[in-house]
Chain A
């Protein structure tokens, strides 16, 4: 009797497969619907401008005259331009400071995480520099780094007069100053990123390490870094691309790419070529070169991250 009543309620295996397929199809559709706005926005505001820039880079543009198709003439002209070479050389020099951008915020985040003396004060202020608009940071540091500015006044007062140089005048010191100012402006974001990663560390692991006598550096190298590797990778990728494309407002306010081409970077060169020289085609070509450069470097870092993640998982 029961079986007679229950029989229609039980679904056959083929029905179950059908339901599963339907549910799966529903999930796929839902997934597509959720992803679609992002894809449309990415196409409209990322891919289309990129393709337009690539197309424009094939045109010779003379001021506001009608552009003429010129194949790769802009790229040839770009590669012969000494300022272009200088801009990418400077970009590589800046790229060499990447370890500082990665590890200094990590050290600071760990000091806050383990509640070192003064951590409360530092926790309250570390994010402030990031909240100041970069153009304002540039204007501030133009005063601070001036020959008679507060930095040199402090160095002279502290008996370090030989260090009180004209920071923005020298070929190396100008680029170094620019990187230092950029780092001051953005390190807060790194500390915040690392703190969010450190918050996920299992407390018992940290406690166990401490009981085993692990000091600050041991904790960082053997516990924190392996456990927050994805966060470390994320911040590395962000810095890799960001340190080449965050600099514009700082260059604009601090040095305008000078003296000479000492602090010229590709993104600022795109601006001068496009808007000061009215050469939109060549500006687009330099922009494409910058895009390829950042893409290659980022892809290298992402791939390495992925490989390490895979290795760790195995």
Chain B
């Protein structure tokens, strides 16, 4: 017993030393676990999921597989609520590491929230057909705030069945304003709507205005629109408004157009087979894939808007724009990881995912052509987009977009003259903070 006690006393120093050691180890334990976790950087990405949830799940999985040290946390907000969520982040200079915005004026207005992309990130842009929509004034020599991944723009879809029922040649849709007028007369004679249209919200600005404007403006004029140097009282701008007004005078579209939205109501009219034509977009929602699924791929065709001034320099061009761009927020403390995400989004791997899962049209030149779905409308679109020009719709300010839609509604209902509409547009231009 005494022996045991002595042995215990001999080893007491060991216990004395071990006690604090265990204590220190216990105290350090919580810190040692995150030492491993710190190797994984989590970035938050604010987005509206263009291309759909399935595509975004695949995109995040592919990125994390390629970058095991970076984890992506998505903050997805519906497109129509996006400004309400992003605005407070920007004003409080806090929030996500990566953000999405439409290319053009929407991004330029918010550039104070983005870092200028460094040269090594912009290298990823060399793989793209264009990335100027992410750069100030659409000029890649100026600071760039985001990189795009998909291509977007407007075409006019047509329902071959309806055209055939109206006695028209479905393989030879109208190419000029007069041919369109004749086609609409024939379509209306069989009790169908000629052009499915909705005039509320931003759709007139993004989907209709650019297609009419291409007949009257040059690219220099469009840059003047962006800079706020093209007054709405200019004869060219008046001509655009007159042409838009004439669509209503000719009775091409559904009478409910002034009070409905193109998405979903206007698109529904076309998708349900009740209209011959619909002017929408090439990617994301209400595109060739959606219409093909509803009406049958074999019944859907895509064409340029009919020319009003066939010999105008941009009449046979495509109003194209990068669909949206991703940039890195100025307040992010994880900018290196965020840059990796922006590069990946612009890269070929994501381009293949966009093409196969979302049915989108990628800007990346290295997308695998074998992955493209088989669709006649898509083939027609791929031909049309070979001749791009600026998309003048995204160069209008929020004030101009609102006045354009409301003015078109009232002109169509016969409550406003084109001259008064132009005066309102000019007032809206003068009230646009980004243009004055």
Q: Which residues of A contact B (CB under 8 A)?
A: 61-65, 77, 142, 146-147, 166, 168-171, 174, 255-261, 272, 275-280
In the assembled complex, how far is the CB of residue A279 from the closest CB belonging to chain B, in whole angstroms? 7
Determine the distance from Cα of A259 to Cα of B258 in the docked complex, in whole angstroms. 6
Q: Are B265 and A278 in contact (CB under 8 A)?
A: no
- Residue among B110, B397, B406 making CB contact with A260, cutoff 8 Å: B406
Question: In B33-92, which residues have CB < 8 Å from any A CB?
Answer: 83-84, 87, 90-91
Q: Are A142 and B265 in contact (CB under 8 A)?
A: yes
Q: Which residue of A lies closest to B201 (CB)?
A: A256
Determine the distance from Cα of A197 to Cα of B399 in the docked complex, in whole angstroms. 48
Q: Which residue of A lies closest to B91 (CB)?
A: A64
Q: Are A259 and B409 in contact (CB under 8 A)?
A: yes
Determine the distance from Cα of A169 to Cα of B259 in the docked complex, in whole angstroms. 5
- Residue among A64, A147, A166, A275 making CB contact with B112, cutoff 8 Å: A64
CB neighbours of B259 from chain A (8 A): 166, 168-169, 174, 255, 258-259
In the assembled complex, how far is the CB of residue B339 from the closest CB belonging to chain A, in whole angstroms? 22
- Residue among B199, B256, B432 making CB contact with A147, cutoff 8 Å: B256
Known A-B contacts A147-B256, A169-B258, A258-B409; A275 and B433 likewise in contact (beta carbons under 8 Å): no
CB neighbours of B401 from chain A (8 A): 276
Closest 9 CB pairs of A and B: A62-B433, A168-B259, A259-B409, A260-B410, A259-B258, A276-B398, A256-B200, A277-B398, A63-B109
Q: Which residues of B contact A (CB under 8 A)?
A: 83-84, 87, 90-91, 109-110, 112-113, 199-201, 254-256, 258-261, 265, 397-399, 401-402, 405-407, 409-410, 413, 415-416, 431-434
- Residue among A64, A171, A276 making CB contact with B90, cutoff 8 Å: A64
In the assembled complex, how far is the CB of residue A162 from the closest CB belonging to chain B, in whole angstroms? 16
Q: Are A146 and B406 in contact (CB under 8 A)?
A: no
Determine the distance from Cα of A183 to Cα of B255 in the docked complex, in whole angstroms. 27
Q: Which residue of B lies closest to A65 (CB)?
A: B112
Q: Are A258 and B405 in contact (CB under 8 A)?
A: yes
Q: A63-B109, A259-B409 are in contact. List 7 more A-B contacts (CB 8 A).
A: A64-B90, A64-B110, A169-B258, A171-B415, A259-B406, A275-B83, A277-B432
Q: Which residue of A lies closest to B397 (CB)?
A: A277
In the assembled complex, how far is the CB of residue A189 from the closest CB belonging to chain B, in whole angstroms? 27
Q: Are B109 and A64 in contact (CB under 8 A)?
A: yes
CB neighbours of A142 from chain B (8 A): 260, 265
Determine the distance from Cα of A166 to Cα of B257 in the docked complex, in whole angstroms. 10
- Residue among B109, B255, B397 making CB contact with A166, cutoff 8 Å: B255
CB neighbours of A256 from chain B (8 A): 200-201, 261
CB neighbours of A257 from chain B (8 A): 406
Q: Which residue of B lies closest to A147 (CB)?
A: B256
Q: Which residue of A lies closest to B109 (CB)?
A: A63
Determine the distance from Cα of A168 to Cα of B84 in the docked complex, in whole angstroms. 27
Determine the distance from Cα of A6 to Cα of B399 in the docked complex, in whole angstroms. 87
Determine the distance from Cα of A277 to Cα of B407 in the docked complex, in whole angstroms. 17
In the assembled complex, how far is the CB of residue B410 from the closest CB belonging to chain A, in whole angstroms? 4
CB neighbours of B398 from chain A (8 A): 276-278
Q: Are B84 and A275 in contact (CB under 8 A)?
A: yes
Determine the distance from Cα of A146 to Cα of B266 in the docked complex, in whole angstroms. 12
CB neighbours of A170 from chain B (8 A): 413
Q: Which residue of B lies closest to A171 (CB)?
A: B415
CB neighbours of A61 from chain B (8 A): 433
Known A-B contacts A62-B433, A171-B415, A256-B261; A272 and B256 likewise in contact (beta carbons under 8 Å): no
In the assembled complex, how far is the CB of residue A172 from the closest CB belonging to chain B, in whole angstroms? 12
Q: Which residue of B lies closest to A261 (CB)?
A: B406
In the assembled complex, how far is the CB of residue A173 from the closest CB belonging to chain B, in whole angstroms? 10
- Residue among B109, B112, B265, B410 making CB contact with A259, cutoff 8 Å: B410
In the assembled complex, how far is the CB of residue B105 from the closest CB belonging to chain A, in whole angstroms? 10
In the assembled complex, how far is the CB of residue B274 from the closest CB belonging to chain A, in whole angstroms? 9
